[in-house]
C-alpha cells in the first residue's frame, strides 16, 4: 500500500468521525429541545422570547458556524499530523535502507602488485586494459596522432580506438604478426576528443568533446 492510499484512508476515517460528532450534536440538541417542550413555562415571556423563530434561526446558525470552525480546525490538525508522521516514516525507512545497504557492502582493500607493475617514462593521458587483463595500452604524445586523450578496447574483437586533440577517432587492430595497424580514421570532429563510451554491442560510440 502506497503513502497516498494510507493518507486517503486516514482522511476517510476523520470524515466518519466528524459525521459522528455532528450526529451526536444534533441528537443532543434534539433531546434538550424535547425536554424544554415539556416544561410548564410556555406562557412565560422569557421562554417565548427565547423560542422566537428569529432567535432559533440565530442559534442554529451559531451552532453551525461553531461546528464548521471545529471541523476545519480538526482537519487542519489531522492533516499536519499525518504529514509529519509520513515524513518521519519516510526518513526512518530511508535510514533503515541505508543501514542495510551499508551492511550488505563488502569491504575490500587494494594491494600493490610489485611484480605486475609497468614502468612508464613517457607522459601519458590515457590508460586502458582489455577484458581479460592481458593487454595494457597507454596513450602517449605522438607527432602523427597528437596527444591521445582517451583509449578504449573493443570488447568482442582485438581492436581499440582512441581520440586525440585534433578531433580524430582512430581505430586500430592487431594483425597476424601481433602488430597494431590503423584500420580507420574518423575526422568528423573539430575539437579535442576527451571521452569515448562504447556500448555493449561495440556498435555505438558516445563522444564528449
pLDDT in tens, 153-164: 888 888 888 888
80 DSSP β-pair partners: none
Domain-located, residue 79:
yes
Residues 98 and 12 in one domain: yes
Query: How many structural domains does the chain have?
Result: 2
pLDDT at 207: 59
Handedness of CA 184, 189, 191, 194 (dihedral sign): negative
- If asked whether residues 123 and 100 sit together in one domain, one would say no
Predicted confidence band at 63 (pLDDT cuts at 50, 70, 90)? low
**∠192-130-158 over CA atoms, to 5°?**
90
Distances, alpha carbon 96 to alpha carbons 3, 89, 102, in Å: 17, 10, 10
pLDDT reading at 25 higher than 80 = no
Residue 128 lies in a domain: yes
Whether residues 97 and 33 fall in one domain: yes
Same domain, yes or no, for 55 and 98?
yes
Q: Are strands 180-186 and 195-198 parallel, antiparallel or unpaired?
A: unpaired
Among 17-26, 49-58, 74-83, 181-190, the minimum mean pLDDT is found in 49-58
SS3 82: helix
Domain that holds residue 148: 118-208
Average pLDDT over residues 184-199: 80
Per-residue pLDDT at 33 = 64
> What is the maximum alpha-carbon separation in the chain?
126
Strand 159-164: give its sheet, edge to edge.
148-154, 159-164, 169-174, 180-186
78, 104, 130 — which closes off a domain? 104
DSSP result, 11-46: HHHHHHHHHHHHHHHHHHHHHHHHHHHHSS-TTSHH
Together in a domain, 176 and 99: no
- Would you say residue 42 has pLDDT above 50? no
Residue that finishes a domain, picked among 72, 104, 136:
104
One domain for residues 126 and 181 = yes
97 and 11 housed in the same domain: yes
Do 73 and 150 belong to one domain? no
Pair 10, 93 in one domain:
yes
- Highest mean pLDDT of the ranges 35-39, 62-66, 84-88: 84-88
Q: What are the pLDDT digits (tens) for 104-121? A: 777 778 888 878 778 878
99 in the same domain as 17: yes
Domain membership flag for residue 111? no
What is the percentage of the chain residues whose pLDDT exceeds 70? 63
Predicted confidence at residue 203, as pLDDT, reads 67
Q: Which of 20-24, 33-37, 84-88 has the highest mean pLDDT?
A: 84-88
> How far is the CA of 171 from the CAs of 20, 74, 129, 146, 184, in angstroms?
79, 72, 16, 15, 5
Do 24 and 98 sit in the same domain of this protein?
yes
Does residue 109 lie within any of the structural domains? no
Residue 67 included in any domain:
yes
Q: Across residues 138-164, what is the average pLDDT?
A: 80
Residue 113 is assigned to a structural domain of this protein: no
Same domain, yes or no: 156 and 197: yes
Question: Among 129, 179, 175, 178, which residue's Cα sits nearest to residue 155?
Answer: 129
| End position of a domain, from candidates 104, 131, 161 | 104
Amino acid at each position: 500500500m502506497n503513502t497516498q492510499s494510507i493518507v486517503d484512508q486516514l482522511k476517510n476515517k476523520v470524515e466518519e468521525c466528524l459525521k459522528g460528532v455532528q450526529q451526536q450534536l444534533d441528537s443532543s440538541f434534539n433531546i434538550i429541545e424535547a425536554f424544554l417542550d415539556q416544561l410548564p413555562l410556555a406562557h412565560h415571556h422569557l421562554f417565548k422570547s427565547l423560542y422566537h423563530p428569529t432567535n432559533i434561526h440565530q442559534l442554529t446558525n451559531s451552532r453551525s458556524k461553531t461546528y464548521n470552525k471545529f471541523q476545519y480546525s480538526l482537519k487542519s490538525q489531522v492533516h499536519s499530523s499525518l504529514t509529519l508522521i509520513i515524513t518521519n516514516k519516510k526518513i526512518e525507512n530511508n535510514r533503515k535502507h541505508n543501514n542495510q545497504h551499508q551492511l550488505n557492502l563488502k569491504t575490500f582493500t587494494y594491494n600493490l602488485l610489485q611484480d605486475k607493475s609497468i614502468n612508464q617514462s613517457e607522459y601519458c593521458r590515457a590508460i586502458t586494459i582489455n577484458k581479460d587483463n592481458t593487454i595494457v595500452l597507454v596513450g602517449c604524445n605522438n607527432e602523427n596522432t597528437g596527444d591521445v586523450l582517451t583509449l578504449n578496447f573493443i570488447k568482442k574483437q582485438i581492436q581499440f580506438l582512441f581520440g586525440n586533440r585534433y578531433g580524430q577517432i582512430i581505430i586500430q587492430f592487431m594483425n597476424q604478426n601481433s602488430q597494431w595497424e590503423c584500420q580507420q580514421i574518423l575526422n568528423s570532429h573539430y575539437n579535442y576528443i576527451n571521452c569515448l563510451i562504447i556500448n555493449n554491442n561495440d556498435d555505438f560510440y558516445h563522444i564528449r568533446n
